[in-house]
């Protein structure tokens, strides 16, 4: 049986390996104690990643977004903010999948729930479907423009369409140039190249 620290280390290693296998450059801080564990270089932009273990409870993945630390003024329990991280990466050790959650969806929360199957009450509105947060989506959106790499991403590629309403789009789309309106990012069926529309 793994200790909580060992589970966390295993999740971080899996998250890094999953990202690398999709062609994402993964960076690691030289010292401990920061609010993020890794950084992903996606389309020339560094995204600060906080790694977590996703626990299964039936058809739901539980991602703990609370952080506890000791400070000079005592024990402090907080959640993450956009000043500290860009994304939470949660790895399901049981299924071997990694999920990416934007900080805007974890800020101020103790827990985030990702639904794996149908809701018991058939609710569909305001549900965080786990498949919408799988790591493959970030790889397709971040494919290098030089074309030196082919990133497979999610299967099938046609399953990845990101627009302004997408939970990942805000974190992955570079800010527009001054005076220009942002454009939705779309990945076409059968293509791994993101295009602006």
**Rounded Cα distance, 166 and 106, in Å:** 15
Residue of higher predicted confidence among 162 and 106: 106
Q: CB–CB of 136/155 below 8 Å? A: yes
Q: Which of 11-20, 45-54, 94-103, 116-125 has the lowest mean pLDDT?
A: 116-125
CA atoms within a 13 Å half-sphere pointing along the CA-CB vector of 189: 1
Confidence class for position 95, pLDDT limits 50, 70, 90: very high
Radius of gyration in angstroms for the set of CA atoms belonging to the chain, rounded to a whole number: 17
Which residues are CB-contacts of 113 (< 8 A; sequence separation ≥ 6)? 60, 61, 62, 63, 128
CA angle 182, 185, 189 (to 5 degrees): 160
Strand partners, 71: 74
Instruction: Report the pLDDT value the prediction gives residue 127, as an integer from 0 to 100.
Output: 86
CATH 1.20.58.220 fits 4-196, yes or no: no
Secondary structure (DSSP) of 1-56? ---HHHHHHHHHHHHHHHHHHTT-EEE--SSS-SS-SEEEEETTEEEEEEEEEEEE
Instruction: Report the pLDDT value the prediction gives residue 8, as an integer from 0 to 100.
Output: 92
**Rounded Cα distance, 168 and 134, in Å:** 10
pLDDT digits (tens, 9 = 90+) for 103-142: 999 988 999 999 998 777 777 777 898 999 999 865 555 5
Domain layout of the chain by residue ranges: 4-196
CA atoms within a 13 Å half-sphere pointing along the CA-CB vector of 36: 21
Instruction: Report the pLDDT value the prediction gives residue 144, as an integer from 0 to 100.
Output: 37
- Assign 3-state DSSP to the chain and report helix, strand, coil percentages, each to 5: 20, 30, 50
């Amino acid at each position: 049986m793994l200790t909580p620290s060992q589970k966390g280390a295993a999740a971080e290693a899996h998250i890094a390996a999953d990202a690398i296998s999709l062609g994402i450059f993964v960076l690691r801080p030289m010292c401990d104690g920061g609010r993020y564990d890794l950084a992903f270089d996606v389309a020339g932009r560094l995204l600060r990643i906080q790694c977590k273990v996703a626990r299964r409870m039936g058809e739901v993945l539980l991602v703990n977004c609370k952080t506890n630390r000791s400070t000079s003024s005592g024990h402090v329990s907080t959640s993450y903010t956009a000043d500290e991280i860009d994304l939470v990466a949660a790895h399901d050790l049981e299924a071997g999948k990694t999920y990416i959650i934007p900080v805007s969806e974890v800020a101020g929360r103790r827990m985030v729930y990702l639904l794996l199957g149908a809701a018991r009450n058939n609710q569909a509105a305001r549900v965080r479907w786990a498949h919408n947060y799988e790591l493959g989506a970030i790889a397709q959106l971040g494919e290098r423009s030089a074309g030196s790499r082919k990133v497979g991403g999610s299967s099938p590629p046609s399953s990845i369409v990101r627009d302004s309403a997408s939970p990942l789009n805000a974190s992955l789309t570079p800010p527009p140039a001054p005076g220009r309106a942002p454009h939705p990012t779309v990945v076409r069926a059968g293509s791994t190249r993101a295009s602006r529309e």
